[in-house]
Amino acid sequence: MNDPEGISWDSSELTKSKYQMYVSDGRTTGNYSLVIPSVMLKHTGRYRCYNKQPTRDKIIKDYELLVCPKSEPLTEFFSKREEVVLRCDSNITESVRVVWYRNTGHVGNVIKDTGLFKQTNYPKDLGGRVNASNPPYYLVLSNLSLADSGEYWCAVYYRDVCVSVTKTVLVEWDPFGINSTFYRVYSSLMACALLGMVCVLITVNLKTRRRDQESMKTRRTEAQRQRSSRVEEEGESDEGRGEKKESEEEK
């Protein structure tokens, strides 16, 4: 295995290196994958996996790892058969390497590469639908369809170091989707309707509570009046019995 500086490593020595990587144990599975737990800019470079043989080493896999700084993604909406302009954010004007890469639900491959291993032809499904500036800081995609939805990356390299990356997410415009005017208006109306319902419920609840309180107050007043009436009646009855008793004693 070769590291970014061109040094040849044996799998047993990888974990001791400053790059903190290791090879999975493939003695039973046959899988000797190179694992980089925490990818950093210094891991940029070409990696080759090969078997040492007496006469000539046999290359099994050859990779180019491109590591770029993090960046916030941009979002571009499109409708079917429209075109969109993808921009590459870079202030470098000197001779640089620019790589356009896409990752959609259908494919994941390089669109254009101006480096040593430059791609001279665009992918077949983009034939006649893509144009690029020179240098390709702008990429124009036309006659778009749902299959073109996905992530598009533009990486700029200066002296073999990735200095900037621009990530754009292409999303098909849905006139009734979450990002549409219809959805925003509908959400606003629903929010107003919900607020109105809450106000109505509060008003009804207050009126019901006030009516219950008045009813309870009326019942209490009526109960007090009835108690007072009974007390008066009982008092008059006692007074009448007292007068009758006095009259009988006088006789």
Domain 74-172 has CATH 2.60.40.3500: no
Do the beta carbons of residue 22 and residue 15 sit within 8 Å? yes
User: What pLDDT score does 102 carry?
Assistant: 92
33: nearest Cα among 9, 65, 16, 11: 11
pTM over 0.75: no
User: What pLDDT score does 144 carry?
Assistant: 93
Please report, in tens digits, the pLDDT of each residue of the chain (251 residues total).
Answer: 444 444 455 555 555 556 677 887 777 777 878 888 888 877 888 888 877 777 777 778 888 787 888 888 899 999 889 999 999 887 766 667 888 999 987 778 889 888 766 666 788 888 889 998 887 888 999 999 999 999 999 988 888 788 888 999 999 886 655 555 555 665 677 777 788 787 878 887 888 888 877 777 777 777 777 777 776 666 666 555 555 555 555 55
User: What pLDDT score does 157 carry?
Assistant: 85
Amino acid (one-letter) located at 124: K
Question: What 3-state DSSP class applies to 211?
Answer: helix
Classify residue 116 by burial, with Cβ atoms within 10 Å: 0-12, 13-18, 19+. exposed
User: What pLDDT score does 117 carry?
Assistant: 63
DSSP 1-41: -B-TTS-B--GGGGGGSTT--EE---TTT----EE-SS--G
Distance CA 44, CA 22 (A): 16
Do the beta carbons of residue 144 and residue 153 sit within 8 Å? no
Residue 57 carries which DSSP code? P
Rg (CA), the chain: 42
User: What pLDDT score does 3 carry?
Assistant: 47
93: nearest Cα among 49, 148, 130, 133: 133
User: What pLDDT score does 84 carry?
Assistant: 94
Return the biggest CA–CA distance within the chain. Answer: 154
User: What pLDDT score does 12 carry?
Assistant: 52
User: What pLDDT score does 136 carry?
Assistant: 82
Distance CA 75, CA 41 (A): 25
CA atoms lying within 13 Å on the CB side of residue 218: 6
User: What pLDDT score does 148 carry?
Assistant: 92
Classify residue 69 by burial, with Cβ atoms within 10 Å: 0-12, 13-18, 19+. exposed
User: What pLDDT score does 58 carry?
Assistant: 79
Domains of the chain by residue range: 11-65, 74-172, 175-251
Residues in the chain: 251
User: What pLDDT score does 7 carry?
Assistant: 47
User: What pLDDT score does 231 carry?
Assistant: 64
Distance CA 122, CA 133 (A): 14
User: What pLDDT score does 130 carry?
Assistant: 92
